[in-house]
Structure 1
């Protein structure tokens, strides 16, 4: 494990200090990609003296947490992460009687579990894609700008000492934990607003097809040039949902006229459809493809649908040449999300094109990172509305006018 910042990222982190930051909002660079990293993440500092951590941005999680050593000992079940595991001292534990402990358990929908130690606020959280984390709630100085105590705030977050991956095995990962950006009261943005570090309970992210992008926290997003906003679904207190939508492939309806609830989740690398909807979509898509494309197995995404052509796929531009159908989610009131091929396919190391929309057993749709690439997605918690707009995600906008596309 690295003791500090990897050399390839050090210069970028220095540039992060130069990004537009005011007393009420901030813009942070993102690192990572859909494939092969599988995460988009920010670099932050925690503790005094500050130590570096990479956190996966996750709008589907209310809790920010890092993998850590439990009770001063070793981690019970941790992944291999980029930096030394966080260690929480006794005075950093959030007591079970603390209001933040009650907020955490209200957010995760479970009663408080204080365990054997009366001063420990324990938790267990389940993520949408099947993984889980157990740990205790702690608090420490959290520097949203890396390698500096500037703009640091004392934030409650999770010390996760037992991770269970969806694959059933612990893995080598490129992040140390999760930056919780969900709708709950314990998420990072809510805490920063309460501490007056930012003025608005808003988030915006832009994920680049080339990897990286940027994250906006605390800005007044209502003035961005979006012609349509979708209200947040009132019956979904923990996740960001613009409501129910129907799925289309070009002009053809998939799944009929019955709409399905959609969740925007930057913590999911790929997009997931209910089994029945996915089963209807695949043959319709297959029927549109050229005969030169052959279905193959790819070790990068075992069990998923992949295609090869006589010459290897090398880039997003190659995808556009071979795959033409555009998917779309129609939310009603003329609010739609168009999904071109580069938002539902990945190019693997083997030079194949693999379908990045998977089936799952749930009754809702999860829109993950692959589908949100090339979009500035806005989560306006103050006005309870969501919006998205095509944008250049390769560099943060210097002004609102720099983003000129529309829904």
Structure 2
């Protein structure tokens, strides 16, 4: 069985088509009363870009609450977890029953051919607030009874489900805002050493040093997009036209359309020393080996130069993509390019994935319709009062 990272390398996960099939009405539960002031909920993350292939949060759901591992996905709206209803292709985990006959069916398809089919239900989520208290809102999510992962559904899903944090009204963030629990602000910090943290609300958003870009309406869907960007390598333009970009934590790697992808590959190859030799490796399409096996990206990053994305929607808004934000070192000790050809993967947009967002706090502020990022260590606790480099 291919590992999650290699599996996600084929097509970016997270971008979706959602079809809701209303058969009746969603089962009703008493909602948490709206609060007069909002708070921030914070969660520790687990996982990594390689070899896990995703970052995931533990969400406590139900009464009594049980823990579920959910893949953090800002590229889709619907949260779902595996239920028995009956189960055809079960993820590990849940014993939750799907209610019948009052139900609203859903079917969701992702661009990597993964899918989930089930019914919408509501239940309590236990959210840890930064003031050390908990809140237990009743939220709507998908109770999935048929999940397909990999070719013909041959692979086992690595988590219990998916945490949909997109811009749509069904996302958990939108529901929490509607109930007055948190503001419609989301942030995550993915560590290169694994793990990191996630938060809902604006208490952890730094007051300075953040690069902000106005959100643009993506031409390909309801995604978080900072609009078009010009691509540079080692501060030199690669001569490709500005490209629309979306931020998607459900994608392990970063995807550029064919023209900018080929330009990046040519620029990288042109700047490498003879100590690196291109080698065929099953991990990713483009890998190199050194005179001895590499233990981490930091052993080899001096051989590579930074990429830069200059965004038109922000004043001096530039994201530097350091070598550690586009390279991995795999179990064979080879260094591989974590930017992939999005055109070959049949993507219509350029996707900034987990690898490029590592060791940066990335903020999705739906209140002010802006996206922000600031570089720093993501290995610290989400309960930190400030984000310092």
Fold match, TM over 0.5?
yes
Question: Which residue of the partner structure matches residue 99 of structure 1?
Answer: none
Question: Is 2:341 the partner of 1:359?
Answer: yes
Deviation at 1:169, TM superposition (A): 3.4
Higher helix share: 1
Deviations 1:322-363 (A, max 9, x none): x32111111133111101110001111111111111112234
Distance 1:41 1:265 in 2: 14
Q: How does 1:321-400 map to 2 (within 5 A)?
A: 321=302, 323-332=303-312, 333-361=315-343, 362-396=347-381
Aligned equivalents of 1:224, 1:41: Cα separation in 2:
27
TM-score (normalizing by structure 1): 0.79
Deviation string, structure 1 residues 43-73 (Cα, Å, up to 9, x no partner) = 1112122222101111001011112222xx2
Report the Cα offset of residue 319 of structure 1: 2.6
SS in 1 for 2:272: coil
Report if the CA contact (8 A) 1:376-1:388 is conserved.
yes
With over 3 angstroms needed to count, the CA separation of the structure-2 counterparts of 1:387 and 1:138, relative to structure 1, is same
Q: Residue 137 of structure 2 aligns to a residue in which SS?
A: strand
In 2, the alpha carbon distance for the partners of 1:314 and 1:228 equals: 32
Cα displacement (A) at 1:197 = 2.5
Aligned residue for 2:96?
Answer: 87
Structure 2 CA distance for partners of 1:209 and 1:223, relative to 1, 3 Å? closer
Q: Alignment partner for residue 319 of structure 1, among 296, 300, 315?
A: 300
Shift in Å, 1:315:
1.3
Q: Distance in 1 between matches of 2:318 and 2:79?
A: 31
**Separation (CA, whole Å) in 1 of partners of 2:310 and 2:175:** 34
Q: Report the RMSD for the aligned CA atoms in angstroms.
A: 2.3
User: Which 5+ residue runs of structure 1 have no aligned equivalent?
Assistant: 1-21, 94-116
- Does residue 137 of structure 1 match 2:120? yes
| CA–CA distance in structure 1, aligned partners of residues 205 and 134 of structure 2 | 28
1:247 matches 2:206: no
Partner Cα separation in structure 2 for residue 347 and residue 222 of structure 1: 31
In 1, Cα distance between the equivalents of 2:327 and 2:168?
Answer: 32
SS at match of 2:269: helix
Corresponding residue number in structure 1 for 2:7: none
CA distance in 2, matches of 1:336, 1:129: 29
**Unpaired runs of at least 5, structure 2:** 1-36
1:185-200 correspondence to structure 2 within 5 Å: 185-198=169-182, 200=183
Aligned with 1:136: secondary structure? strand
Indicate which of 26, 41, 49 corresponds to 1:34: 49
Deviation of residue 174 (structure 1)?
Answer: 3.2
Structure 1 residues 165-197: Cα deviation after superposition (integer angstroms, max 9, x where no partner):
254433234311111110001101111122232
Name 2:144's counterpart in structure 1.
160
2:290 corresponding residue in structure 1: 309
| TM superposition shift of 1:386 | 0.5
- Asked if the contact 1:31–1:211 (Cα under 8 Å) also holds between the matched residues in 2, the reply is yes
Distance 1:89 1:227 in 2: 43
Query: What count of residue pairs does the alignment treat as equivalent?
Result: 345
Q: Please report how far the alpha carbon of residue 127 of structure 1 lies from its aligned counterpart in structure 2 after TM superposition.
A: 2.4
Choose the corresponding residue for 1:214, options 194, 197, 208.
Answer: 197
Equivalent residue, structure 2, for 1:234 = 217
Give the direction of change, closer, same or farther, for the CA distance of 1:187–1:336 in structure 2 (3 Å limit).
Answer: same
1:76 counterpart (88, 94, 106): 88
Is 1:280 the counterpart of 2:260? The answer is no
Tell me if the contact between 1:226 and 1:387 (Cα under 8 Å) persists in the aligned partners. Answer: no
By how many angstroms is 1:227 displaced? 4.9
Asked whether the equivalents of residues 218 and 225 of structure 2 are also in contact (C-alpha less than 8 Å), the reply is no
1:316 to partner: Cα distance: 2.6
Please tell me whether residue 170 in structure 1 is matched to residue 154 in structure 2: yes
Q: How many Å separate the matches in 2 of 1:144 and 1:195? A: 13
Check 1:34–1:240 CA distance in 2 against 1; reply closer, same or farther (3 A cut): same
**Any conservation in 2 of the 1:206–1:215 contact (CA below 8 Å)?**
yes
Contact 1:229–1:386 under 8 Å retained in 2: yes
Answering whether residue 251 of structure 2 is matched by residue 271 of structure 1, we say no
